Amino acid sequence: MEESLEQILELSLTLLMLGGAVCACVFKDLLNAVIAAAFVSLMAAILFYFLQAPDVAMAEASIGAALTTAIFVIAIKKTKRVEEE
């Protein structure tokens, strides 16, 4: 693969990660914040895969996107859903 295309893909992946992270900070409804955090962890897993670290990508995929999302959702269920000012 060419050098320029590789740089373009890395730049776009980091931009997508930053966009998702900003969304996770801004949203007031905590369920939406959890969904945005899951998106960030997906993009992080692709970035690890792209930098040729498949072990870390597998750990990030399994922990970050499946288990952490479910644990956050259960925690929201036990407490409150909407964050107050």
List the structure tokens of 74: 């259960």
Give the sign of the dihedral formed by CA 40, CA 43, CA 44, CA 45: positive
The answer to whether 7 contacts other proteins (rule: CB under 8 A) is yes
Q: Does 25 bind other proteins (CB under 8 A)?
A: no
Q: Does 44 bind other proteins (CB under 8 A)?
A: no
Question: Per-residue x/- mask for other proteins, residues 50 to 69, rule CB under 8 A?
Answer: xxxxxx-xxx-xxx-xxx-x
Which of 14, 25, 28, 83 lies at the binding interface for other proteins (CB under 8 A)? 14
Asked if 37 and 70 touch (Cβ cutoff 8 Å), the reply is no
